[in-house]
Structures are given as structure tokens and as C-alpha cells.
């Protein structure tokens, strides 16, 4: 079975492959558009994680139907997710803008006119600076994951990983994971998400929880 993942993020592909592999009752191949030589970078215009996940799934379905790269076959399941960090003291920000946090203050390289997104470490520093010494540190990772077969047949699961934002830059820890993982602390484990092993993260993460639900639906749908 070939499953298409509407993402260009290699970290997410690796995580999802591990999650689906752990749930699989039969061999599955997980491919992203780049694996088939396709450029895929849809504009995320949804107002929620669910809307963005379905938007990406629909866009990839349309692209695959138009281009039909091997080994694509009509009806192949497509998985898309949208995820981010929601911080209570910041009224849920950065939320759906987690990967684009800083918005118009993106860095413009001098003398080249090239705009690039902030690096993860820069986004983390920006968030910690905005949060400052606020004693309210509760936050959660959120993942909405869509399983798309046709425009009229799809499923969506949304899950969370609850945690707290570390006290400051000096408290950021861990070399694993990616994104905001070094600054999200899990009280029950006494570690940040970046300090978890891959197996641990793929058991408790927001993406793991949603992925297990989606994997069970894939299995049931055959």
C-alpha cells in the first residue's frame, strides 16, 4: 500500500513513517511529493489546524490526479497534517502560524533582497522573549491530521501534547526533535520534548496520537 504524505518536511515524514510502521498490519510505503519529483508548497490559508490539514490534502490529491506520477493510483490514501504550538499566556499563539512565527519581521538578507524564514532557534528566542517572566507557562502542541481518499471521503483526527514553556533561554534543553521541542517541558517526564528518544516521542506526541487514530482508519478501510 502506498500512502502519500502532503509535506516537504523530512522530520515529519520520518516521525509519521515510524508511527504508521508501528501500527501497520501490512507493509506500507510512505511517500512525500518530492519523492515523485513534484514541487508542493500550498499556501496555508485556513483559520484552524483542521482547515489547513484538509487544504493540503486536497491540494496534493489534485496534483497527483493531474500529474499521475508512478506509483500513484487513484484512491491511494493521502495524509496531511497541520501542527503547531499554542501558548496560553499568548492567547494561543503562535498556533497555526508556528512555522511562520514573526510574520512580517522575517529576516531580509542585506544587499540580496532575499527573504527567509526565521530559524527554529530564532523563533524559540522570539517566543521566550515575548512570554518574558509571565508565570503562566502552560502550552500544548496540537496536530490535526487528515486522511483523504476523495473529495467526498475523508477523516480528521486532532490531538495534543500538554506541556509548559521553559523559564527562559538558559532552560532550553535537548538535541532531539525539531522546532519548539527544546523549550517545551513535559512535567510528568521531567524533560523537554527535545530530550525524549524517538521511540518516546513517537508514543506520546500530538502527531503520534493523531497518527495512531489515522493508522487504525487506514487499516479498517483496507
DSSP string, 87-119: EGGGTT-BGGGGGGTTGGGPEEETTTTEEEPPP
| Pairwise CA distance, residues 132 & 44, whole Å | 29
**Class of the 2-221 domain?**
alpha beta
pLDDT in tens, the chain (222 residues): 899 999 998 888 988 888 887 655 555 789 999 999 999 999 999 999 999 999 999 999 999 999 999 999 999 999 999 999 999 999 999 999 998 887 444 443 444 444 457 889 999 999 999 999 999 999 999 999 999 999 999 999 999 999 999 999 999 999 998 899 999 999 999 999 999 998 999 899 999 999 999 999 998 886
Total-model pTM: 0.88
User: What's the pLDDT score for residue 112?
Assistant: 44
Q: Which residue has the cell 523563533?
A: 123
Residue 194: other Cβ atoms inside 10 A: 20
pLDDT at res. 25:
56
Q: Give the integer Cα–Cα distance in Å for 185 and 203.
A: 16
List, by residue number, the catalytic residues. Answer: 82
The pLDDT score that the predictor gives to residue 15 is 83
CA angle 118, 7, 73 (to 5 degrees): 165
**The pLDDT value given to residue 116:** 56
Domain chopping of the chain, boundaries: 2-221
DSSP state of 195: G
Q: What does the pLDDT read at residue 109?
A: 42
**Are 29 and 19 within 8 A, CB to CB?**
no
pLDDT at 103: 44
pLDDT of residue 135: 98
Residue 31, pLDDT score: 95
Instruction: Output the pLDDT for position 21.
Output: 77
> Which pLDDT value is given to residue 105?
45
Map grid coordinates 513517537 to a residue.
Answer: 202
Nearest CA to 95 out of 82, 81, 104 is that of: 82
Q: Tens of pLDDT along 69-114?
A: 999 999 999 999 999 999 999 999 999 999 888 744 444 344 444 4
DSSP string covering 36-73:
GT---------SSHHHHHHHHHHHHHHHHHHH--TT--
Report how far residue 116's alpha carbon sits from residue 94's, in angstroms, rounded to the nearest whole number.
18
Partner residues linked to 160 by β-bridges:
142
Amino acid at each position: 500500500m502506498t500512502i502519500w504524505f502532503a509535506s516537504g518536511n523530512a522530520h515529519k515524514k520520518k516521525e509519521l513513517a515510524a508511527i504508521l510502521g508501528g501500527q501497520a498490519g501490512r507493509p506500507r510505503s510512505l511517500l512525500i511529493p518530492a519523492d515523485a519529483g513534484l514541487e508542493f508548497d500550498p499556501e496555508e490559508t485556513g483559520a484552524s489546524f483542521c482547515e489547513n490539514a484538509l487544504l493540503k490534502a486536497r491540494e496534493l490529491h489534485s496534483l497527483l490526479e493531474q500529474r499521475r506520477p508512478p506509483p500513484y493510483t487513484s484512491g491511494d490514501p493521502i495524509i496531511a497534517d497541520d501542527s503547531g504550538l499554542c501558548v496560553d499566556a499568548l492567547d494561543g499563539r503562535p498556533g497555526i502560524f508556528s512555522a511562520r512565527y514573526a510574520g512580517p519581521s522575517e529576516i531580509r538578507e542585506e544587499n540580496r533582497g532575499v527573504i527567509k524564514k526565521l530559524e527554529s532557534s530564532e523563533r524559540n528566542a522570539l517566543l521566550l522573549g515575548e512570554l518574558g517572566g509571565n508565570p503562566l507557562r502552560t502550552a500544548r502542541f496540537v496536530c490535526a491530521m487528515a486522511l483523504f481518499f476523495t473529495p467526498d471521503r475523508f477523516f480528521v483526527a486532532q490531538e495534543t501534547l500538554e506541556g509548559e514553556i521553559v523559564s527562559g533561554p538558559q532552560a532550553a534543553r535537548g538535541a532531539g526533535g525539531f522546532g519548539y521541542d527544546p523549550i517545551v517541558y513535559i512535567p510528568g517526564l521531567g524533560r523537554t520534548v527535545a530530550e525524549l528518544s524517538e521511540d518516546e516521542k513517537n508514543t506520546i506526541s500530538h502527531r503520534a496520537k493523531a497518527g495512531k487514530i489515522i493508522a487504525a482508519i487506514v487499516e479498517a478501510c483496507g
